[in-house]
């Protein structure tokens, strides 16, 4: 058995004492309403964990530095228009959102194509490969889909929609394998959530395949009640240990009340042999609630664990990428963290002052509203492959595929592709689809004074056949006639 606290002697005692003092000091400041110093040297999450003897082996954030000595890039963005890339670094310890805005402006947008590891181990995350779940390669998140505030700075989150996900494929440096102890946390949305598989962050298979119970050790926040009964409707902080989203012991845990705050700190630690713990808290205020601290599942394969040392974000171990969520920061550590260290990390997170909505896209995109007040939508739930049907559907604030960017060349894009006419057609009745942006005439749309959207190449307008308003109505082009079936408003 791996004990959670094997270190001894003066140095280890001093490290534990420092972690406790850090926790008490930060907590006292919060209670007294004193000004928080969010980026003080030595007080960031990886500093706190290292002082407690459980150093970060992976640290990913698109909002801020997680280690006081780190001054490298946080993430990389790639422009849709020309494939050019730029690293987004730090200004005063926080992401340089202005640099991203300048680079991505008037280009059809950008995608986040790499999230850098701040631990020094180069465990960087990139869009993941196809896996045994049957989904194709993951795509990078729209870089400007969701903006919030951290430390008084505008920053962007990682908006996870179905089809978006990241992975370190292989065995990441220092990450636990074969029953070694580890811990992890992430700050994510408690409002942009779903029940599908899987919005995870943490240890996963080294290849995108389900290799059996105990081969994953990732923290999740979702409305997935995998083992009934569950209390309320969630979302719950859960442990994805492969083939189960566990809230405690063998799955169900009615003591888990869930975490519904706008920003949630989700914490998981696992000694790899017999014990794991789950905690959750509001990332804007207060401390952590312990939802489980006890035995690993006895279902078979979990005692001991069989972690493989891969890293995932926003997906499951087999690349199940059907869920949604919003990610801001997270780390993985070597060893079983102390409660004092986790409390100090939570106090530091609170001191950052995260604010804003986390469930509504607020970037440069807008909706296109058509007949019946329905939204122009891409079939197949945000997956956005070439040839996906474009249709009418009930407007949903969280649906990425209903938020379109009106580009300088007259195209409309979402999910990294453009609103397109099948085969670049011009005939009346030609169907609308999603396709790679390529500048052809079938991808140009001009708003007219009467509220219609004209495709200049064909001389025809975006149209709902016979003025239909039902969900799933496939859109087409048709002779412009000023009818209600051709009224499409850009917002």
Residues identified as active-site: 242, 318
CA distances in angstroms from 373 to 258, 370, 468, listed in the order given: 34, 6, 11
- 235 preceded by a cis bond (ω within 30 of 0): yes
Written as six digits, the tokens of 212 are: 């059996």
Q: Are 116 and 60 in contact (CB under 8 A)?
A: yes
Q: Are 457 and 426 in contact (CB under 8 A)?
A: yes
First-to-last alpha carbon distance for the chain, in angstroms, is 59
């Amino acid at each position: 058995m791996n004990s959670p606290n094997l270190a001894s002697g003066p140095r280890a005692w001093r490290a534990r004492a420092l972690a406790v003092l850090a926790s008490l000091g930060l907590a006292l400041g919060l209670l007294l309403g004193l000004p928080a110093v969010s980026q003080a040297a030595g007080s960031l999450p990886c500093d706190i964990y290292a002082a407690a003897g459980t150093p970060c082996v992976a640290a990913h954030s698109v909002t801020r530095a997680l280690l006081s000595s780190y001054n490298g890039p946080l993430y990389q963005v790639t422009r849709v228009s020309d494939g050019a890339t730029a690293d987004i670094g730090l200004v005063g310890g926080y992401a340089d959102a202005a640099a991203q805005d300048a680079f991505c402006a008037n280009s059809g947008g950008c995608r986040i194509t790499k999230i850098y590891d701040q631990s020094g181990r180069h465990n960087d995350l990139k869009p993941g490969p196809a896996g045994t779940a049957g989904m194709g390669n993951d795509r990078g998140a729209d870089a400007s889909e969701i903006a919030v505030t951290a430390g008084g700075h505008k920053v962007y989150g990682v908006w996870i929609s179905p089809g978006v996900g990241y992975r370190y494929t292989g065995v990441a440096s220092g990450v636990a394998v074969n029953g070694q102890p580890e811990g992890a946390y992430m700050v994510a949305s408690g409002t942009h959530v779903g029940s599908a598989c899987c919005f995870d962050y943490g240890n996963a298979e080294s290849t995108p395949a389900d290799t059996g119970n105990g081969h994953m050790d990732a923290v999740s926040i979702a409305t997935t009640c995998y083992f009934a009964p569950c209390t309320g409707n969630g979302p719950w902080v859960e442990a994805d240990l492969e083939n189960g989203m566990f809230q405690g012991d063998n799955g169900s845990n009615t003591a888990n009340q869930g975490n519904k705050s706008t920003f949630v700190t989700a914490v998981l630690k696992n000694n790899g042999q017999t014990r794991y713990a789950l905690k959750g808290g509001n990332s804007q205020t207060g401390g952590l609630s312990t939802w489980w601290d006890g035995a690993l599942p006895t279902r078979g394969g979990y005692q001991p664990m069989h972690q493989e040392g891969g890293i995932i974000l926003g997906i499951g171990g087999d690349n199940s990428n059907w869920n949604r969520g919003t990610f801001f920061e997270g780390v993985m550590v070597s060893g079983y963290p102390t409660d004092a260290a986790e409390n100090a990390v939570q106090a530091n997170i609170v001191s950052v002052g995260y604010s804003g909505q986390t469930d509504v896209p607020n970037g440069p995109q807008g909706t296109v509203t058509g007949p019946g007040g329905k939204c122009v939508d891409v079939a197949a739930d945000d997956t956005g492959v070439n040839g996906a049907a474009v249709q009418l559907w009930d407007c949903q604030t969280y649906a990425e595929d209903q938020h379109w960017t009106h580009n300088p060349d007259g195209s409309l894009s979402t999910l990294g592709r453009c609103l397109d006419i099948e085969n670049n057609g011009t005939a009346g009745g030609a169907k609308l689809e999603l396709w790679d942006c390529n500048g052809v005439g079938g991808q140009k749309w001009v708003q007219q004074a009467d509220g219609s959207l004209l495709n200049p190449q064909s001389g025809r307008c975006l149209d709902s056949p016979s003025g239909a308003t039902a969900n799933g109505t496939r859109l087409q082009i048709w002779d412009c006639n000023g009818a209600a079936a051709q009224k499409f408003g850009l917002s």
